[in-house]
Homo-oligomer: A and B are copies of this chain.
Amino acid sequence: MNNGSTRSSEEVSLKAVKITDSFWSGYQKLVKEVVLPYQWEVMNDRVPEAEPSHVIKNLRIAAGLEDGEFYGFFFQDTDLAKWLEAVAYILETYPDPELEKLADEAIDLVEKAQQPDGYLNTYFTIKKKGKRWTNLYECHELYTAGHFIEAGVAYYQATGKRKLLDIVCRFADYIDTVFGPEPGKLQAYDGHQEIELALVKLYKVTGEKRYLELSKFFLDERGKEPFYFEIEWEKRGKVSEWNNSTDEKYSPGQNRQYNQTHLPVREQKEAVGHAVRLLYMLTGMADVAKEYNDKSLLQACRNLWENIVTRQMYITGGIGSTSIGEAFTFDYDLPNDTIYAETCASIGLITFAHRMLQIENKSVYADVIEKALYNIIIGSMAKDGKHYFYVNPLEVFPEASEKNPIKRHVKPRRQKWYSCACCPPNLARLIASLGLYIFTKNSDTLFIHQYAACEAELEVAGSKIKVVQESAYPWNGEIKIGIVSDVQKEFNIALRIPGWCRKYSVDLNGNKLEADNLLKEGYLYIRNVWSGNDQIHLVLDMPVEMMEANPLVRANAGKVALQRGPVVYCIEEEDNGDNLSALSILTEPEVDYDPELFGGVHVIKIKGYRRLNDGWENKLYKPAGSKYKPVNIKAIPYYLWGNRTPGEMMVWIRRAGNEID
């Protein structure tokens, strides 16, 4: 029965999966109807009070359609690239001629902005003519290329239209003439990883192996001695692009961990430096490891996965403990209030996990995808689809965000846009492509990684089947899976038992299965001769759990977090009054459905105490003897925080008398 588990598995086509889930289709609809049109307006600078974008204008200037100056970061183009990719994913399952028309227009513009030799980047075309490839360390040129490539691939897959794919192939072909091991080419790589994973996508859709080889080349060069960025820095006169400074402190050698150039990628074992860069790199590494069956590359992926997930990940699936360098810090250092946890970093964690899941069928990868999806990802966008978090804190005190400089990046409200707007379109493309994360398959097994109502038409073990998932996940752990097949065929359906689940049962066509015997690395392998209309009924026990953190996570000492299924909860000032730090909770939380809140949501109620301010007027310190009063505390799903009056929020809550149970 376990054959399937030892083989790698493949992604299924996005087109094959139709999300019918009321939870997720709401988000996808929001992306389609609100987020993408809104972001288009932003990129055209038509949203009052939002940070200026200038993305379309930069392209028009580069295309010679109008005069003007470049505005924005040197990677400003990527906002459009990610938007196009998101549009493509939407079009895969929700045809929308209007959106497609906008996208086609944008692609026409991109084509006009492309240079005769295939080069494409408005910053260098408009502002830094003749300076291509002189500052890979800082200027994100290949990163920007990578996002265009991802868009080209996605748009082709969705629509069959080749224009953008052709554009990015021309660009990639040009890049291939500039970079490579051959004499006369640059033995270099980008300061911000992204092109690596993009080139693998391009290889897969075109079959052109040069793209895969170039991806591997970039990975192999990274971290080599002599240090390319230092050579480049000297060559361009030791000037930083960010601030025109020649101060040695801006030289690339000062912090090689920042962009993961401190060691060859195969030798890296601890997650350090800029989190998004690392996760994009790891996504590409896993891709290349799989394509080449490269064991040392795969081992590095496993090592870094292990380090991130067992040492440096927040309970929400957030990663990156410090705003300084948007970076990892060190094992178990997970402060809640000075956290970074960038939305894009969790997106990178999801894509990395998704690639690993295609190499080895271990539920931990899908567990982390689930964790990030239900907490960081949907939490980073407001209910209205027009406000976004870049940073996803686990504890917020608005006055501190305003007045303590080390918390200034922790915003108590989602913003309309960001000057560095990497996150909002990234989020759109992730939600739009949710269907990619539900299944993978190999010749003998269909894996069901995520639970969400959907219908999928898939070919498994040479046989065409239809899978119909029904559930009210994540609020209810009961999942029905119908397998409709025209012919008889034996293969496995492997169901993920989530890491949070301590008790479950499963039956097939009404017959209870001995589930424990079927479990391997987190998946229940149900082997069966599927014929006609089979029904799997999985019940995941989903009580509220009081979660503790590893004792080495100093920030959470004495505290617990409330979680139900994959959904992490938080308490907000709106429900519990101000100064949430004065609250402590007892055991026995209860789940309750609140039909009024956000159109109906499961909340958690728990008894606890509030320490009183009585007798503390104008005193900072005095002998112990505070008064407490019993209070009822209400927690809401973390992903919904910040959608009402701005105020305090807290995930990790002090527990009254932990030691005295």
Contacts and interface: CB of A to CB of B under 8 A. Distances in A.
Nearest to A648: B554
Contact of A549 (B552, B557, B612, B620): B620
B621 A549 contact: yes
A547 B624 contact: yes
Contacts of A338: 338, 406
Interface stretch (A198-206, A447-455, A598-606, A649-657): A649-657
Given A620-B309, A620-B310, A660-B656, A322 B406 contact: yes
A324 B620 contact: no
Contacts of A306: 618
A609 interface: yes
A622 B243 CA distance: 45
A44 interface: no
A253 interface: no
A493 to B, nearest CB: 28
A343 interface: no
Contacts of A516: none
Contacts of A247: 243
- A619, A621, A656 — most chain B CB neighbours (10 Å): A621
Nearest to A584: B659
A248 to B, nearest CB: 12
A330 interface: yes
Contacts of A405: 322, 324-325, 329
Interface string A618-661: 11111111101000000000000000000000000011111110
Contacts of A333: 399-400, 403-404
A282 to B, nearest CB: 18
A447 to B, nearest CB: 24
A406 B338 CA distance: 9
A657 B656 contact: yes
Given A406-B338, A659-B609, A553 B311 contact: no
B548 A625 contact: yes
B550 A616 contact: yes
A456 to B, nearest CB: 31
Contacts of A322: 404-406
A483 interface: no
Contacts of A325: 405
Contacts of A621: 315, 547-550, 561
Contacts of A655: 624
A549 to B, nearest CB: 6
A548 B660 contact: no
A558 interface: yes
A560 B404 contact: no
A3 interface: no
Interface of A: 243, 245, 247, 306, 309-311, 313, 315, 321-322, 324-325, 329-330, 333, 335, 338, 397, 399-400, 403-406, 502, 545-554, 557-558, 560-561, 579, 581-582, 584, 587, 609, 611-613, 616, 618-626, 628, 654-660
16 contacts: A315-B620, A333-B403, A335-B404, A338-B338, A397-B554, A502-B623, A546-B624, A547-B622, A548-B624, A552-B579, A552-B616, A553-B620, A560-B624, A628-B658, A656-B658, A657-B658
